[in-house]
Amino acid sequence: MSRELPAGTVAERVALLNARYKHHGAISVLEHALKDSDLGRVALVSSFGAESVVLLHLVSVVAPETPVIFIDTRMLFRETLDYQRELADKLHLCDTRIIRAMQPRVAFEDPDGTLNQFNTDACCAVRKIEPLERALKQFDGWITGRKRFQSGTRAAVDFFESEDDRRIKVNPLAHWGREDLEDYIVNNNLPRHPLVAKGYPSIGCEPCTSPVAEGEDPRAGRWRGQSKTECGIHFIGGKMVRTKPAGQDDSDEGKVA
């Protein structure tokens, strides 16, 4: 069944949305923008990481019908997989979609599971970017948990962004600080990711995530020792990183589990 696409280019719609909701807060953005025809159909993409419970809870209350996409790279911490199941149950998430890369792709690109040791960008492309790209094709935009305080590369994040002029990215918590997140978790009695108490304020795949010492940037434990700061599904240097092997067609991308 075909669906009517929002009018205007992605950039035009992003400008309209940012102007329309610039004085709104996170809850208001979710309550009103998700029903705005200039945004279209959206999904929430969540890592079920250290701070994910805040946005997941907000969406479950404000727009419980919103699809929630979780990328299982098959390299996540066991604690993350357990936490994902716990939150899906506790928050009554009714449309959780677990996506993974197709096994033939992984077997070809990373047959022994060591790709992350010498080419983290390629590993992220196969295990995260390609499956997510396929999953998002049916949506006009997606909701992220990106926040300005997280790192220098996110310092100018707006509520709405143009993703390579193809989709809109929605960042409801863009202006929230760490204290806001903490207060929300405490006030709503939300369960925390078990690794947070072990020194992991930002959690990705197990081989590429390490504990963070006091005083370090919260994302210092991601790809430690490398210049890499993002997995590739977000902006790097002002540009969207989207890699696909030459000659690969859409049928080669990941499937929804």
User: Which pLDDT score, from 0 to 100, does residue 150 have?
Assistant: 54
Mean per-residue pLDDT for 124-141?
93
**Residue 123 labeled ligand binder:** yes
Give the distance, in angstroms, between the CA of residue 84 and the centroid of all CA atoms in the same chain.
Answer: 14
**Residue 94 labeled ligand binder:** no
Render pLDDT for 36-90 as a digit per residue (tens, 0 to 9): 889 999 999 999 999 999 999 999 999 999 999 999 999 999 999 999 999 999 9
Amino acid at residue number 25: G
The pair of structure tokens assigned to 186 is 């405490």
Query: Number of helices and strands (H, E) in the chain?
Result: 9, 9
| Residues forming the active site | 231
> Hey, what domains does the chain have and what are their CATH numbers?
10-244 (3.40.50.620)
Helices in the chain by DSSP H: which ranges? 10-20, 26-28, 52-62, 78-90, 103-109, 115-118, 120-124, 130-135, 178-187
**Residue 124 labeled ligand binder:** yes
Q: Which CA distances in Å does 16 have to 24, 26, 163, 242?
A: 14, 17, 15, 25
Residue 228, burial from CB neighbour count under 10 angstroms (0-12, 13-18, 19+): middle
Least confident span in 93-107, 140-154, 176-190, 226-240: 226-240
